[in-house]
Structure 1
Amino acid sequence: MTTYLVTGAGGGLGAITARELAARGDRVVLAVRDPARVTPPPGDTEVRRLDLADLASVREFAAGWSGDLDVLINNAGVMAVPYAKTADGFETHMAVNHFGPFLLTNLLLPHLTGRIVTVASGLSRLGKIQLDDLNWAHRRYSPVRAYGQSKLANLLFTQELQRRLTEAGRDVRAVAAHPGVARTGLDRHFGRVSAALVKTLYPVIAQKKAEYGALPILFAATEDVPGGAYVGPGDRSGGRPRLERQRPDHELARELWEVSARLTRR
């Protein structure tokens, strides 16, 4: 039996991913901010508390993990939210989408035996990594670009993680995936920040089932894909996911890792 840990599994793509993995007969741990509000899917499932916006919560969660973990799915995220800082002083997108998963992955690495899947986004192309201002202290804040930066960070994190795993001789793979345009509650803030994006994306969202968005995540978690791969949707109708082309930036990935390690006190 394979053990999966899915973050942000209380709703959206995380809930679908957890449900489908449990239906296969695997053990699934759902990591959510408020366990009292989550009913786990049928099967060998368990709900545990994890708030990725709070590094203390991340450390507590990791300290409570015992035994092997086959697959970690870094799915939890926020999208296009208004500017705010977490208790650790991080901008919300970077805290939840990057710094929290970065610390969680590193703390759980001794337990991991299979792979780490990190959920990115096609909107990573809108992101720009500004290493000296990752938390938007000196730039004019843009919710969409802040989201894009955090999702680009996911891709760079996966690249550098795979390099380090290979260098260490670990038989663990780091893989990224993105759902394409998926109909979930994650996009509820878009109407406030970008009317143009809403006009472009919502007709597509309305036609696409959320289950289709989970397919690349499930593919990355269960199929024989190479370390460092980036899995995307096949089409809007649930086609077989496919590997996406990437332009790795190994130097930037290394620098982002070092800054992230310093800021999270890893």
Structure 2
Amino acid sequence: MAIVFITGCTDGLGRVAAQSLLDDGHKVVLHARSAERAAAVGAFGKRCSGIVLGDLGSAAAVGSIAEQVNAIGHMDAVIHNAGIYTESSRGSTPEGHAKTLAVNALAPYMLTMLIKRPRRLIYLSSGLHRGGEGSLSDLDWTRRPWDPARAYAESKLHVVALAFALARRWPDVLSNAVDPGWARTKMGGPGAPVDLDTGQRTQSWLAVSDEPAALVSGHYWHHLRQEQPAGEASDREFQDRLIFKLGELTGVTISDPCGRA
């Protein structure tokens, strides 16, 4: 039996993943953006081993989320499920970052560095990440005209590269990225071709399975099969430059607490 923390799991893929893991006898720690969203899960929340609160668009709240998780105990796996697509404008977090970058890339990076190191890390990406190459010159969209599709693609490339970088740097951790497909979430819409159960299956499997096929690291997955990601994601120089820039933007480095080296 494993204990798994899942970000953004009051609805959509995160919630269905949590339900699947609970039904299989595992423990789950939920994340909700606010107390109101936590209350909305109702009886489902009572099945879980804890609910942590915080807006992933705020660095201070992300730090609080990490503290709440660490107070509950050591996680066996973390599924970085939460993500947004911001259409109208770049937006601005309390720290002045583009909101898509903050929620989709900066928050997973910070949580990875601040939560006690689990045995397994899973980052939700998208097939659209292949359109995000060439992002490091203006990571935070301070100079370019806002392009929501491009910003989303870049953020999903960043988490694949992060997963691969950690697989290389932390050999004791199984770190992978998952494309759940175009699923019927609030973001994907009711006409999306992938049902929620299919969309959540790979990340749940990677989080807890002892099958040899799941005990690997540094791979990009789609519907239980490994696929080839964008070239930059596998490029070690890109990975290292990205981690350096994420550290600069967040003030949290890869050598920070919780036994990291």
Interval containing the TM-score (normalised by the shorter chain): 0.7 to 0.9
Specify every segment of 5 or more residues in structure 2 that has no aligned partner in the other structure, as ranges: 253-261
**Structure 2 CA distance for aligned equivalents of residues 129 and 77 of structure 1:** 21
Counterpart residue identity of residue 104, structure 1: L
Q: Please tell me the residue identity of whatever aligns with 1:56.
A: A
- The equivalent residue for 1:185 is 186
**Alignment-derived partner of residue 14 in structure 2:** 14
Partner of 1:38: 41
Amino acid at match of 2:179: H
Contact 1:70 1:115 (8 Å CA) reproduced: yes
Which residue of structure 2 lines up, in the alignment, with residue 238 of structure 1? none
Q: Which residue of 1 aligns with 2:228?
A: 245
Contact 1:19 1:41 in 2 (8 A): no
CA distance in 2, matches of 1:6, 1:100: 13
Structure 2 residue 253 is matched with structure 1 residue 259: no
> Contact between 1:129 and 1:152, CA under 8 Å: does it hold in 2?
no
**CA–CA distance in 1 between the matches of 2:194 and 2:67?**
39
1:229 aligns with 2:230: no
Matched, 1:88 2:91: no
Q: Which amino acid aligns with 1:123?
A: L
CA–CA distance in 2 between the matches of 1:87 and 1:113?
Answer: 29
Say whether 1:161 aligns with 2:166: yes
Change (3 A) 1:210 1:52: same
CA contact (8 A) 1:177 1:220 kept: no
Deviation of residue 90 (structure 1)?
0.9
Matching residue of 1:71: 77
Per-residue deviation, 1:69: 1.0
1:231 Cα deviation from its structure 2 partner: 1.2
Match of 2:124 among 98, 119, 128: 119
Q: Does the CA contact (< 8 Å) of 2:45 and 2:51 recur in 1?
A: no
Q: Which of 63, 66, 77 in structure 2 is aligned with 1:62? A: 66
C-alpha distance after superposition, 1:23-77 (max 9, x if no partner): 1111100111022333335634422102111110111122232331100100000
* C-alpha distance in 1 between matches for 2:134 and 2:56: 20
Code of the residue aligned with 1:4 in structure 2: it is V
Deviation at 1:132, TM superposition (A): 3.2
SS of equivalent residue, structure 1 residue 187: coil
* Runs of 4+ with >4 A deviation: none
Q: Quick one: structure 1 residues 186 and 265, their matched pair in 2 at CA, closer, same or farther if it must change by over 3 Å?
A: same
Structure 1, unmatched stretches of 5+, are 189-201, 234-240
CA displacement 1:147-193 (0-9 Å, x = unmatched): 00000001111111111102xxxx211111111111110236xxxxx
Question: Matched residue of 2:238: which SS?
Answer: helix
Q: Secondary structure at the match of 2:76?
A: strand
Give the letter aligned to residue 247 of structure 2: A
1: CA distance, partners of 2:87 / 2:99: 8
Residues in 2 aligned to 1:216 and 1:174: alpha-carbon distance in whole angstroms: 13
Superposed displacement of residue 80, structure 1: 4.3
Amino acid across the alignment from 2:78: L
Q: Could you state the TM-score of these two structures normalised by the residue count of structure 2? A: 0.86
Contact 1:5–1:71 (8 Å) recurs in 2: yes
Pick closer, same or farther for the CA change 1:47–1:81 going to 2, 3 Å.
farther
Tell me how far apart the structure 2 counterparts of residues 175 and 184 of structure 1 sit (CA, whole Å): 22
Q: TM-score, normalised by structure 1?
A: 0.84
Identity percentage over the alignment?
Answer: 32
Cα distance in 2 for partners of 1:157, 1:112 equals 15
